[in-house]
Amino acid sequence: MKTKKTVNVIAIVALAAMTAACGAGKTDGNDAAKSGGQAVKVEAKPVELTWYHVPTDGPVGDAFIQQYGEPIQRKYPNYSFQVLVNKEQNTLANMVMSKTSLDVMLASFASLQSVKENGLLSDMSDLVKKHNFDLSRIEAEPLEMMRKMEEGKLTSLPLYDLRLVLYYNKDLFDKFGVPFPKNGMTWGELLDVAKRMTRTEGGVSYRGFVTPPVTVVNANQRSLNYIETKTNRSAIMTEDWKSHMETFIPFYTVPGYDATPETMNSANMMNMFLKEQTAAMFVAYNSFAATIKQNVPNWDAVSLPEMSDLRGVASQPYPVVLSIPSTSKHRDEAFLAIAQLLSDEVQKERAAKLGFLAPLRNPAVKSAFASDMVDWKGKNISAVTAQKSPSPIAYSKYNAQGAAAIASAMLAVITGQKDVNTALREEDEKLNKTIETAEAANK
């Protein structure tokens, strides 16, 4: 099932494969996966892998070759690729209906739910064992997330992680004579900074901190669950969640902030920081650096502020993963391609040149993050690398609804519509109703 969009990719990648193969001898196809013991030999015959991006902005063309094709073909010049993206005629639903054989699937952890619901996840444990792949090289947290999702099965391997950091506009801090934020600040310390940066001058309202509440809910450094997995009921009506909300609500209710449903709109908050430049600080993933650079030239970043009793802990892990769908006809070759992308060599290159946060334990690989990137030149790179991931929250297909419920409760309190207890109780009831309705529809 080849589309016009994939023809050029296939041709270019195939040509690269032929060129590389000119000087290639036989390969056992196993060095990247090998961690000891006898390697399993895979015949080096031409193989075309069908690569599928669940994110609709997955790279194609030259971007695909740079990020995936070339690093894999460096080891396996006999591989070529058909690249499909989850849109237009190639939606995930159409892939299932047409019974298209997919070999490698790239997805964010959040989008894995749709892959799971379409029955495309398959356990890769046998391939890990067969090809002697050393899982101990990979950080425990993303692997734990994978196993929690499918009752202990290993249906995906993390390719890179995304981490929340605090971006700030240096010009605004200089304008008001306030010291820049620093790595390792607590949320309480940052609140003091936000208060000093929130003011009205020359008829312009400036806000110290603008970030959609759902972002700090998803950060969840305390690893609070949204859903009680044993009962499949809401887990948000707790003192821990109340305390979490009360940590962040003051950022939006400082004198002069003037929080309304309109000013709290996610797009408007981003515009305050990027376009209007009336907001001093904004929390977003490390991948957002290029967008910030284009709009706020004099920016920098610090590590995500921390809970006072939980130091050095980053935002919840948010891995982008690679899976081998149940439809694959080339499971061994697909696994070896993934293993090559997870080799120290390739991960270090991706970290240095493309700004992908490696999921590997190797300190040399981790420290390479953004070292060769223009976007981060002269910036505080340790904002991304200084912290450790917290334990992942329990998996539930209703986690997104749970996070939205907490964010909605926060918004109601921030805008003065409800008190914390009322807002939480009402959202708890709504969340349980949502779960009950969905479960009834699935019976």
Q: Higher model confidence: residue 190 or residue 23?
A: 190
User: Does a structural domain hold residue 388?
Assistant: no
Same domain flag for 299 and 249? yes
Percent share of the chain, pLDDT over 90? 87
The enclosing domain of 210 has a CATH number of 3.40.190.10
Decide if 392 contacts 145 (C-beta within 8 A). yes
Decide if 346 contacts 160 (C-beta within 8 A). no
pLDDT at residue 17 is higher than 80 = no
pLDDT of residue 443: 79
pLDDT of residue 42: 62
pLDDT at residue 161 is higher than 50 = yes
pLDDT of residue 219: 85
Token reading at 326: 């149940």
Q: Compute the Cα dihedral for 138, 141, 145, 147 and give only its sign.
A: positive
Q: What is the mean pLDDT of residues 253-279?
A: 97
Q: What is the mean pLDDT of residues 274-292?
A: 97
Task: Identify which of 3, 117, 102, 110 has the alpha carbon closest to the alpha carbon of residue 61.
Answer: 3
pLDDT of residue 8: 38
pLDDT of residue 284: 97
CA–CA separation, 156 and 261 (whole Å): 39
Decide if 224 contacts 393 (C-beta within 8 A). yes
Q: What is the mean pLDDT of residues 96-123?
A: 93
pLDDT at residue 174 is higher than 60 = yes
pLDDT of residue 14: 35
Same domain flag for 204 and 308? yes
pLDDT of residue 348: 98
Same domain flag for 137 and 254? no
pLDDT in tens, 407-438: 999 999 999 999 999 999 999 999 999 999 99
Same domain flag for 264 and 127? no
pLDDT of residue 442: 85
Same domain flag for 173 and 279? yes
pLDDT of residue 43: 62
User: Does a structural domain hold residue 385?
Assistant: no
pLDDT at residue 129 is higher than 70 = yes
Enumerate the β-bridge partners of residue 160.
Answer: 320
Same domain flag for 290 and 168? yes
**Beta strands 47-53; 104-108: pairing state:** parallel
Task: Identify which of 57, 352, 404, 46 has the alpha carbon closest to the alpha carbon of residue 217.
Answer: 404
Find the domain containing 422 and state its range.
Answer: 164-313+398-441
Of 380, 415, 432, the one marking the end of a domain is 380
pLDDT of residue 218: 92
Q: What is the mean pLDDT of residues 158-187?
A: 98
CA atoms within 13 A on the CB side of 327: 21
Of 380, 412, 429, the one marking the end of a domain is 380
User: Does a structural domain hold residue 416?
Assistant: yes
- pTM value is 0.88
pLDDT in tens, 326-352: 889 999 999 999 999 999 999 999 999
Return mean pLDDT, the chain: 90
Same domain flag for 132 and 65? yes
User: Does a structural domain hold residue 389?
Assistant: no
**pLDDT-based confidence at residue 4 (cuts at 50, 70, 90):** very low
Same domain flag for 292 and 203? yes
Same domain flag for 127 and 169? no
**Beta strands 104-108; 157-162: pairing state:** unpaired
pLDDT in tens, 26-63: 344 444 444 433 455 666 799 999 999 999 999 999 99
Task: Identify which of 439, 70, 27, 406 has the alpha carbon closest to the alpha carbon of residue 233.
Answer: 439
Task: Identify which of 403, 400, 398 has the alpha carbon closest to the alpha carbon of residue 436.
Answer: 398
User: Does a structural domain hold residue 267?
Assistant: yes
- Counted residue by residue, the chain has a size of 443
Decide if 299 contacts 383 (C-beta within 8 A). no
pLDDT at residue 1 is higher than 60 = no
Same domain flag for 176 and 157? no
Token reading at 405: 């419920």
pLDDT in tens, 179-231: 999 999 999 999 999 999 999 999 999 999 999 999 999 989 999 999 999 99
pLDDT of residue 151: 87
pLDDT at residue 13 is higher than 50 = no
pLDDT of residue 166: 98
Same domain flag for 74 and 45? yes
Decide if 69 contacts 62 (C-beta within 8 A). no
Enumerate the β-bridge partners of residue 83.
Answer: 51
pLDDT in tens, 65-88: 999 999 999 999 999 999 999 999
pLDDT of residue 235: 98
What's the first-to-final CA gap in the chain, in angstroms?
34
Of 333, 351, 380, the one marking the end of a domain is 380
Token reading at 435: 């779960």
Same domain flag for 435 and 293? yes
User: Does a structural domain hold residue 363?
Assistant: yes
What is the total count of domains within the chain? 2
pLDDT of residue 20: 35
Give residues with Cβ within 8 angstroms of 297, minimum separation 6: none
